[in-house]
Structure 1
Amino acid sequence: MNSKNFQDLVRSSRSYRRFAEDEPLSYGDLAALVNAARFAPSGNNMQTLRFHIAVEPAERSAVFSRLHWAAQLRDWNGPAAGERPTGYIAVCAPKALAANPIRLIDTGIAAQTIALAAASRGLGCCMLRSFDPDLNDVMGVSAVDYVTELVLALGERGERVALATSETEHGLAYWRDDEGIHHVPKLALEDLLV
């Protein structure tokens, strides 16, 4: 892969919040994404993270009902029926280490690796940190002394996401236009360098 292909992959690895629900993912599809994260760096090479995969309709419904979507889209309660994710990967840490800064960094690295692997397959991914506290019980991870750090909602992309300049009336807030295109403003490179 050359650097342009990599940049294109990163640009396509956006937060997708609407999916093609009629095109389900299998357990194997999501396990392949977790397998990519297995090779990601881990602080002290401790490899303490674990992953919970949810693809069965009943569990997907239970997970979906506990997630909170898109804080900046205040009038939107998340994907409608037919637009919901067809799989979830929960990134979990041992309860005793959940607040450890290195484990939190590990979570971010693993989640981004999964998101890039999903994008390489043409899938959409949305990382969610806002969820109801009982999600750990619903997925059974609390029974093994783990807690959910992030939930990755995945599926075939069901919306168009466009990168935008941050020099509009929206500033850095993401927004949707009248055609339903989800715009994600990004700062210019020169604004990032110090």
Structure 2
Amino acid sequence: MLSIDSLIKQTRTYRRFDESVAIDRLQIVRWLGIVRQTPSARNAQPLKYIIITDTELCHEITAKQHWASMLPEWDGPSVGERPRAYLLQILDTDIAPAARFDEGIQLQALGLLATEAGYGTCIFGGHGKAEFSRRLGLPTHLSINAIIAIGKPREEVVLEEARNPEDVRYWRDKEGRHHVPKRPLSELIIEPNKPSIF
């Protein structure tokens, strides 16, 4: 079993998947059964999910997303590298007008669960949300908040210290490894001036 720090480091954004490896819908249901137990602002729990495993609909969603803004020459995963499932994270505005904290907590929990099971995710703000809402017949109080691709990762993601704190753009090397520079810890922790008591 992975330690929590190893699990967090391995929970990356994956953009290429092994399309030959299916994911069981019941596996996703099990993850959501755990995700629903995460903290929720005011315990309102306004987030819901639609599980999509239909191959053609998955391909349509894949084609509509913007996969890597920092790799403009790359059009997204090719045949054989597309995700096998998607989750649509839905906000029920009859319950709450927003889910600012809940959405991130649940998306990270989902990523951790997927990683632990040998899968990976990619989270999108969601291009084509209005079109998919119409197609799925969603009532106006159910709004697509995020689109999550799920599949068996087919790429290596390398975490590294940012050489230049101003440049944290991810990139790919000649072997196709995806490099993700992270700002140093010294930039993360702020030490403000201690105010005088008098």
TM-score by length of 1: 0.90
Q: Which residue does 2:178 correspond to in 1?
A: 182
Q: 1:135 aligns with which of 132, 136, 158?
A: 132
- Any conservation in 1 of the 2:168–2:182 contact (CA below 8 Å)? yes
Could you give the per-residue CA deviations for residues 43-62 of structure 1, whole angstroms, max 9, x where no partner exists? 11111110010011122123
Q: Which moved more, 1:66-75 or 1:160-169?
A: 160-169
1:25-174 matched pairs, under 5 angstroms = 25-95=23-93, 100=98, 103-132=99-128, 133-140=130-137, 142-143=138-139, 145-168=141-164, 171-174=167-170
2:12 aligned residue: 14
Q: Which structure has the highest helix share of the two?
A: 1
The 2-side partners of 1:104 and 1:185 are apart by 26
For 1:163, what is the secondary structure of its paired residue?
Answer: strand
Q: Aligned pair in 2 of structure 1 residues 168, 56: CA closer, same or farther (>3 Å)?
A: same
Preserved contact between residue 63 and residue 138 of structure 1 (Cα < 8 Å): no
**SS at 2:64 equivalent:** coil
Tell me the secondary structure at the aligned position of residue 109 of structure 1. helix
User: In 1, Cα distance between the equivalents of 2:94 and 2:181?
Assistant: 37
**Aligned to 1:50, what secondary structure does the other structure show?**
strand
Q: Is the 8 A contact 2:15 2:77 kept in 1?
A: yes
RMSD over equivalenced CA pairs, Å: 2.0
How many pairs align? 189
Question: Max radius of gyration: which structure?
Answer: 2
**In 2, Cα distance between equivalents of 1:183 and 1:146:** 36
- Structure 1 unaligned regions, length at least 5: none
Structure 2 segments unaligned to the other structure (5+ residues): 191-198
TM-score, length of structure 2 as denominator length: 0.88
| C-alpha contact 2:59 2:82 (8 A) present in aligned 1 | no
- 2:3 is aligned to 5
Same amino acid, percent of matched pairs: 30
Native 8 Å contact 1:66 1:135 kept in 2: no
* Alignment partners' CA distance in 1, 2:61 and 2:149: 10
Report if the CA contact (8 A) 2:165-2:183 is conserved.
no
1:104, distance to aligned residue in structure 2 (A): 2.2
- Secondary structure of the corresponding residue to residue 148 of structure 1: strand
- Matched residues in 1 for 2:72 and 2:42: separation? 40
Provide closer, same or farther for how the CA distance between residues 109 and 139 of structure 1 changes in structure 2, counting only shifts above 3 A.
farther
Q: Which amino acid aligns with 2:106?
A: A
* Separation of aligned partners in 1, 2:72 and 2:97: 29
